[in-house]
Amino acid sequence: MPVKGSIAERIGKAEWNWPKKKIGPYITAAVGVIPYGTYKSIKGTLDLLKRLPEIEKGIALEPENYTQEALELAGLGIIGGAKGGLPKGETGVGIFYGVRGGLGTGKVAKLPSAKRALDVGKNALEVRQKTGWFKSIYDKEWRFELDDSAMKFKKDIKKVGTMETPDVTLGELIDHEELFKAYPQLKKMPVKFRQIEGQAGSVTNGEIYINPHMSPHLTKKILVHEIQHIVQGFENFAKGGSPAMMEALGAKDPNKAYRYLAGEIEAREAADRQRLSGMLREYIEPFKGTMEEPYIAPSDAIIRR
């Protein structure tokens, strides 16, 4: 069952009600006026994303009810008449970059126009769609999100960390040209596959640790989460933490405080948005709740620098 307030739960409710009246080649939807073809693809994809908890358990998908484009946008690849299973193929991921990363990739050229547009009262969603840049509702720092679907594992995940394949650097583990353009130093960052009690991954003393007993799909998701934490340090974004840290700081509910850290919200968002295509990412705003997580208001978030 989707978490209350998550995108999965909101699909089909008021903010995701898709009007059936066609207006020429366009249709007015909750996200604004969009081409009718785009509407159909988004609607079909959101329907699929809503069913991901079922699909990932292997429940039949009835793919004949969806266009191939919608299947691919949902990250489910070519399924044919088979059961759904886990998402197939490479799906996009959503690491959030900042000004420093924008310098490395050339994206910073559009930042001044994004700032001017917001200053004169332009809609934030429209500004993000035109320039790629947006301000976080939490730490108010400027960010942009790349469709990182080109990220691929260069090694067999099941063999990494074994005698056959020892520990690796991030550059040896993944092929991700845009990430390394933005932050070249990440290429040499060690990645160690170790059993971590109570954790799927962590960043400790400049090294990424990943639990080795996970599927490639989940490994990729956790890796994106941890890379986002590293980027937070590079860009002076709000940072994450741990329940133990929040307990030491006096939190009455350390687990809740940990989840409300703005850096953890962002890292979870980055990992979860790997299910969105570039087109869907354009229309679904960051930090409004994910497929699995409820929306957390800025007034409730904890900012840690």
Separation of alpha carbons 277 and 250, rounded Å: 40
pLDDT tens-digit series, residues 243-297: 999 999 999 999 999 999 999 999 998 888 776 666 667 767 788 776 567 889 9
Q: Of 125, 136, 118, which Cα lies nearest the Cα of 270? A: 136
Q: Where are the domains of the chain?
A: 7-73, 91-305
Residue 138 is predicted with a pLDDT of 97
Percent of the chain predicted with pLDDT > 70 = 63
CA 151 to chain centre: 13
pLDDT tens-digit series, residues 91-135: 445 799 999 999 999 999 999 999 999 999 998 988 998 999 999
Q: What is the mean pLDDT of residues 146-169?
A: 75
**Which tokens sit at 16?**
């995701």
- Please report where in the chains the tokens 């073809």 appear, as a residue: 37
Say which residue, 88 or 95, is predicted with more confidence: 95
Provide Rg for the chain, Cα atoms.
20
Phi, psi of 225 (to 5 degrees): -55, -45
Say which residue, 117 or 212, is predicted with more confidence: 117
Q: Where are the alpha helices (DSSP H) in 51-165?
A: 52-55, 68-73, 99-105, 111-119, 124-131
Percent of the chain predicted with pLDDT > 90 = 42
Read off the pLDDT band of 216 (50, 70, 90). confident
CA 8 to chain centre: 15
Residue 58 is predicted with a pLDDT of 43
pLDDT tens-digit series, residues 182-198: 999 999 999 998 887 77
Read off the pLDDT band of 8 (50, 70, 90). very low
Instruction: Extract the runs of DSSP E, i.e. beta strands, from the chain.
Output: 26-29, 32-35, 96-97, 133-135, 142-145, 152-153, 168-169, 174-175, 190-193, 201-204, 207-210
pTM of the model: 0.73
Residue 164 is predicted with a pLDDT of 62
Asked if pLDDT for residue 81 goes beyond 70, the answer is no
| CB contact at 8 A, 221 and 210 | no
What integer best gives the mean pLDDT of the chain?
A: 74
